[in-house]
Structure 1
Amino acid sequence: MKTISKLLIFCLLGLTAQTVSAQTSTSPLMLNHIAVYVHELGPSTAFYEKVLQLQKIPEPFHDGRHTWFTLGAAGQLHLIQGAEQNTPRDKNDHLCFSVASLDDFIANLDKHKIAYTNWPGTAKAPTVRVDGVKQIYFQDPDGHWIEINNDRPGK
């Protein structure tokens, strides 16, 4: 019985590897990274690390102008210093991340004293989309808009 189980697991792993290989070979694009141009690297790095709780990863430049974060299988987020200060930002141009618990994420925003709104701009109130997904919006130190929602499989 153990031999059959091992054989079945081996076959399933082989099929999974073939499926992944077939999917990646037919897909023309795969996200590698998103670059966000910031004015001052220090405050932005602290924001993305502490507020968004992203994990820093090594970056190859070592020039004090870059911070890289992992986004898991989705790719990476690169912060690059050098943007002009006080650039106006439109909420339609935003990054979006999903979380398992929007309430827990909101508690983290409150801990860091980060103001958030719903889409129309009402403070401390999530938007509930027609599909039931809850979402909030806030800005990073450079005014880049960020959406956080609870649109996750199995929610």
Structure 2
Amino acid sequence: MRFLLPLLLITQLAVAQGGLGITGHNHVALHVKDIPTSAAFFRDVMGLTPIPVPDNLKTTRAWFDMKNGQMIHLLSGRTSQINHDKNGSHLALFVADIAKSEAFLSAKNIPFHKQVRFDGVTQIYFSDPDGYLWELNEKK
């Protein structure tokens, strides 16, 4: 996870400057403690559509569609604690309606932190079952 944000920055620079010839983002892989628990969270809370995993990987992987050819891959076997805060490593996603997202998290009793960014955009931060921190905000 600590390499994810620099990788995303490198991707943005490479696209802007021609660099490696990167044309987009394919997937983010997250190391998780328990595949069924994390898969249920990404399906039921995040609202992502599961993607079929090859039979030989079903016990150690779960894949989810984020649209536009982007995915999240869950990989089993994490044993160390994930420690993130809203000012550190996190993954940020756009939502259609931040108020509806806030209401949904509240209804599910999922703790979150809400703040308004310097440019007036509302941000909501919450953790998944493994402690990875997610940010939600609306496109301006």
Give the TM interval when normalised to the shorter protein: 0.7 to 0.9
Gaps of 5+ in 2: 1-14
Alignment equivalent of 1:52, drawn from 43, 46, 50: 46
Partner of 1:28: 21
Alignment equivalent of 1:82, drawn from 72, 77, 83: 77
Q: How many residues align?
A: 120
Distance 1:95 1:74, change over 3 A: farther
* Structure (1 or 2) with the greater helix fraction: 1
Aligned residues: CA RMSD: 2.0
Partner of 2:11: none
TM-score, normalised by the number of residues in structure 2: 0.77
Alignment equivalent of 1:69, drawn from 64, 81, 84: 64
The whole-number CA distance in structure 2 between the counterparts of 1:104 and 1:71 is: 19
| Residue identity (%) | 34
TM-score, normalised by the number of residues in structure 1: 0.70
The whole-number CA distance in structure 1 between the counterparts of 2:107 and 2:80 is: 26
Q: Which runs of structure 1 show a deviation greater than 4 angstroms over 4 or more consecutive aligned residues? A: none
Partner of 1:93: 89
Q: What secondary structure sits across from 1:72 in the alignment?
A: coil
